Structure 1
Amino acid sequence: MRVRTDDRRRAIIKAAKDIFRDVGFERASMAAISAKVGGSKATLYGYFKSKDELFAAAMIDALEDQGQDLIDLLDASRPDVEEVLHRFGLAYLTLLASPEALSVTRTAIAESPARERLGEHLYALGPQRGLDAITDYMRALSAREDMEIADPQIAAHQFKVLLEAGIMEPLLFGAPAAFTADYAVTAAVSTFIKAYRRN
């Protein structure tokens, strides 16, 4: 039964992506999406409570596999913290700088003032999910004798900001990044380790 449910959800997202791409968010309707995938609007609303929620899921869907691969890099069982953070950082910036991810971010910024729920859905499915994974990793690091992390959540936010410095803001504006990804990640990891490694 679960397989059929997951397959149906994927089919709805695929149909929604096609319609959003063809006619845009404003002109797309839940009726058109349900007609394309087959079934009723009631069935569609059983999977997604609103068009905003479905739009968010459709936008995030293309990044889902890459996002999970990214999270898997935060392996707390590996002893070399710098190596884990560096590998994660490079993969993270590669994903964030991709055309798909930049498109999602720009759309979220553009649409959120008019559609508060859309921004919330996009944030929950994208940045928040990543921050939760980084926070879990920081929580694991806080148990190590060589690391001193009093607040894993703030440490996760700080590491994310360090990674994005000089990279994300220019790219969102269509300008070149201030640094290469490798340089930015090396600097971010170095700063983070100096701040949180126990002396």
Structure 2
Amino acid sequence: MSERSQAEIVLGRLLPPPCGQHRPPRQQVQPEMGTGAKVASPRPSGGPARCSTGRTPTAPVDAPDLVAGLQQGGLQARVRAAVSVFAYGEPLPAARDLACRLGAPCEHVREALRAMESAGELALHGRVHRYRLRPGELHPKDVDFDRAVRKAIASRQYPPGTALPVGLLGRSHGVAPLLIARACRRLISDRLVAHRDGPAGPAYYVTPTTAVVADEYSAGTRHGL
């Protein structure tokens, strides 16, 4: 073999192949039987990298968002505790002031207050203040609804076992569909109405009770309104 041929062989081993050409894949040497040696599988050339568990790594979770999500679950309990120091009927601080006291986002505090009002724990006073409702006290917006249902039951307009048309009654007396449960709380507590499953699904039914006190005194004076 000439000296030029030997030089070309040496340069071919040292230099990378020209553009457009690829070297043939290196053949893996299989271990001999009984040696216990493991051969790593070749890594795929395309697609996202994978972690050691074989799963595609996801984007990291933003720490502030994670902390806010964990704290939001107990925020309503903290708002309820902060509100409980005020007397029944006493105007509550604005949501912004409560948020400053609790060190929480103002919008989250407002959501907690709205949830407490929907549950019948608070009531709006005008457009600014809220105040605590006494146990068993009707929400001011539910008084007309409660009074109308009691009168209808007392007059046998809705006899025992009848499903109340709560949607129609709510529209007639200004109670939103999502607040029907709040408006029926006192009716259920006085055993005039029961919420149960029926042929048409869950509904509010007049109970077969005979001890019915369903007049304006029961709906108003009895509940402190």
Question: What's the TM-score once normalised by structure 1's chain length?
Answer: 0.36
The structure that has the greater radius of gyration is 2
Q: State the TM-score, normalized to the length of structure 2.
A: 0.33
Greater share of helix residues, 1 or 2? 1
Greater relative contact order structure (CA < 8 Å, 6+ sep): 1
Structure with more strand by fraction: 2
